[in-house]
């Protein structure tokens, strides 16, 4: 058992911030977690072993990083804020299995980093407390780049976690739910109150676990067109699926009759709204629409 004093306590966090005169940047969405039990739960949920490589995004002062370092084979963390580099060098000095990369993860070649840093890891998990303002772009990059990772465990805004894990027919279900559930099995693990952060954010957070699927749950002929149809269907939530498709697909108005016919042929009432369609229905719809829309 590691005897180093945990970073994620209110006292130790304040001590570190005062030592370095650190001030939070709102533009970077910096909120540091000060509850060790929640951090341990996050690491538990990630299912790390001594053979696992862990990728972290936005390590802050190293609170989650140290918990990962105690469980994983190696931790590679991307930090965009240069002011945090000397702090991390200090707080993580007891751990030899940590590497900090000073880079915006959205611009990073993560595949190359994995190839260089995790040559002998049995599997790789991304585990992070994500800044709210870039949550969705980061998760989508990790999934659409088709990286060799087992999954992602992240803390994010509760509202976004609700949308990611939402089921058809609910108010939170939308194009984000479908995009992420297409690539992963998504599960909301727990809600995290705003009171366990310094500074306190305006909203509660949640931890979500995304385990990558070996293959998508539906067969689509053209992935990018499938997602185009999904986005079009949710463009204006109050509109019917027919009106959304007509308004938001290229040349939709000119092909209104064809779109209506395809909906009906696929057992979808044109008056339904996008949030009532399952992923299977969207797959069948996009495959049929592709033949008439992509001429």
Taking the domains of the chain in order of start, what are their residue ranges?
10-212, 223-293
Please indicate if the annotation marks 31 as binding a ligand. yes
pLDDT in tens, the chain (295 residues): 344 689 999 999 999 999 999 888 776 767 899 999 999 999 999 999 999 999 999 999 999 999 999 999 999 999 999 999 999 999 999 999 999 999 999 999 999 999 999 999 999 999 999 888 889 999 999 999 989 999 999 999 999 999 999 999 999 999 999 999 999 999 999 999 999 998 888 899 999 999 999 999 999 999 999 999 999 999 998 999 999 999 999 888 888 999 999 999 999 999 999 999 999 999 999 999 998 776 5
Is there a common fold for 10-212 and 223-293?
no
Please indicate if the annotation marks 147 as binding a ligand. no
State the Cα–Cα distance between residues 161 and 293, nearest whole angstrom.
33
Please indicate if the annotation marks 58 as binding a ligand. yes
- Taking CA atoms, 171 is separated from 133, 164, 168, 234, in Å, by 22, 12, 9, 12
Beta strands, E only, 22-105: 32-33, 52-57, 74-78, 98-101
Name the pTM for this structure: 0.92
- Taking CA atoms, 138 is separated from 40, 103, 289, 294, in Å, by 23, 13, 30, 30
Residues sharing a CB contact under 8 Å with residue 21, sequence separation 6 or more, in sequence order: none
Q: 194 near 138, Cβ under 8 Å?
A: no
Please indicate if the annotation marks 6 as binding a ligand. no
DSSP for 86-109?
A: HHHHHHTTT-TTEEEE-S-GGGS-
In CATH, 223-293 is 1.10.1060.10: no
Residues sharing a CB contact under 8 Å with residue 137, sequence separation 6 or more, in sequence order: 106
User: CATH assignment of 10-212, given 3.40.30.160, 3.40.50.150, 1.10.10.10, 1.10.340.30?
Assistant: 3.40.50.150
Q: 48 near 71, Cβ under 8 Å?
A: yes
Q: What's the CA angle centered on 32, arms 27 and 37, to 5 degrees? A: 155
- Six token digits for residue 228: 């185009």
- The residue whose two tokens read 């709210």 is 132
Please indicate if the annotation marks 129 as binding a ligand. yes
Please indicate if the annotation marks 219 as binding a ligand. no
């Amino acid at each position: 058992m590691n005897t180093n004093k945990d970073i994620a306590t209110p006292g130790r966090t304040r001590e570190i911030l005062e030592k370095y005169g650190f001030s939070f940047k709102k533009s970077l969405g910096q909120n540091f977690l000060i509850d060790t039990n929640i951090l341990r739960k996050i690491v538990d949920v990630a299912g790390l072993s001594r053979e696992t490589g862990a990728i972290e995004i936005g390590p802050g002062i190293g609170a989650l990083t140290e918990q990962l370092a105690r469980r994983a084979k190696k931790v590679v963390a991307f930090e965009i804020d240069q002011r945090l580099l000397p702090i991390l060098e200090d707080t993580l000095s007891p751990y030899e299995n940590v590497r900090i990369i000073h880079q915006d993860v959205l611009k990073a070649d993560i595949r190359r980093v994995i190839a260089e840093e995790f040559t002998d890891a049995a599997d790789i998990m991304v585990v992070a407390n994500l800044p709210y303002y870039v949550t969705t772009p980061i998760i989508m990059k990790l999934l659409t780049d088709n990286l060799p990772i087992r999954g992602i465990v992240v803390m994010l805004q509760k509202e976004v976690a609700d949308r990611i894990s939402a089921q058809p027919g609910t108010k939170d279900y939308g194009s984000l739910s479908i995009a992420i559930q297409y690539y992963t099995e998504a599960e909301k693990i727990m809600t995290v109150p705003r009171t366990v952060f310094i500074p306190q954010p305006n909203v509660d957070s949640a931890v979500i676990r995304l385990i990558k699927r070996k293959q998508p749950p539906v067969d689509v002929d053209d992935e990018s067109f499938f997602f185009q149809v999904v986005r079009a269907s949710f463009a204006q939530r109050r509109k019917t699926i027919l009106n959304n498709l007509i308004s938001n697909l290229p040349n939709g108005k000119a092909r209104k009759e064809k779109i209506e016919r395809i909906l009906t042929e696929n057992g979808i009432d044109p008056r339904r709204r996008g949030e009532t369609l399952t992923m299977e229905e969207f797959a069948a719809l996009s495959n049929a629409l592709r033949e008439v829309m992509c001429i």
